[in-house]
Amino acid sequence: MFSREDIPSIEFFKLHGCGNDFVFIDNRSLFIPKEKMSSWAEVICRRKRGVGADGIAFFELSTIAGADYMWHFFNSDGSRAEMCGNASRCMGVLAVKIGLANMQHTLSTDAGLISITVGDELQDATVTMTDPTNILLNVSLEVEKETQQVHFVNTGVPHLVVFHDNLIDYDIIPKGKLLRGHSHFSPEGVNVNFVKIESPNSMFVRTYERGVEDETLACGTGVCASVIIANQLGLVGTNVKVMTASKEIIELNLNNGKVLMKGPVVHVYTGQLQLSELGLF
């Protein structure tokens, strides 16, 4: 049984993918109980008072056949998430660095098995996402007495896609917040992506993420959702470079129904969490 008296501090890893930042905790020997993970996520991810992150993953040996390891992933508000694209890239690189897995391996998530191929320099990774489901095009929603045209797809987590002509000066938070909590998607809510098509093989995407309740610098599953919807509408092809809010690029390839996402990974630092100082036990 885990207790802070036995272990006053624990190691953590901080990584980011295109500015979407995460904390990772190796739970193979710590055995932090699942019922504590949500509250830990809130404390550790809190900016200025904790480590600060958009989400956190507790990773451990897999109980699922065919997976090298598994994780329990939580958003910064403590809500559990089925999947996180950028975090899975980061997790893949970290797994190779610490000897948990080979360059090509499989991660078990709540959304299913994720195949990860880590780049030779350990600075990027390509993830084969779970198959997209529940694609809905041209859905009309009433938002503040106006009709908003949106599109929906689940890429491991639910996403809306909204096309917009000018994203540079546009404040996505008010509209993102309204759509995220729209009654049509209650009670779970939905992530909201605002998309500008630049060319048949490039686009700009900004995302309001549920669980973070704010715009993030990038969202991997959101980028995937945006490309899938744009492709369904005939706006882009099957190989697309996506500019994120951090001005970094995520590459998407749609290959015979499979979605491959490639992007950079940065291992920012490794540190120690002082459990008593943070009130964690």
The tens digit of pLDDT for each residue in 86-138 reads 999 999 999 999 999 999 999 999 999 999 999 999 999 999 999 999 999 99
Residue (of 36, 25, 33) closest to 69 by Cα position? 25
As to burial, measured by CB atoms within 10 angstroms (0-12 exposed, 13-18 middle, 19+ buried), residue 263 is buried
Domain ranges in the chain with CATH number 3.10.310.10: 9-129+266-278, 133-256
Q: Which CATH class is domain 133-256?
A: alpha beta
In order, the DSSP letters of 189-220 are --EEEEEEEEETTEEEEEEEETTTTEEES--H
Give phi and psi for 131, each to the nearest 5.
-65, 135
pLDDT band of 7, cuts 50, 70, 90: confident
Annotated binding residues, written as ranges, equal: 20, 75, 85-86, 191, 209-210, 220-221
**Residue 268's pLDDT is what?**
99
Question: Given a cut of 80, is residue 42 above it in pLDDT?
Answer: yes
Give the model's pLDDT for residue 4.
Answer: 52
* Spatial distance between the Cα atoms of 89 and 109, rounded to a whole number of angstroms: 13
For the chain, how big is the Rg over CA atoms in Å? 18
The mean pLDDT of the chain is: 96
Prediction pTM value: 0.95
Enzyme catalytic residues: 84, 219
Nearest residue to 97 via CA among 73, 116, 76: 116
Instruction: Return the CATH class of domain 9-129+266-278.
Output: alpha beta
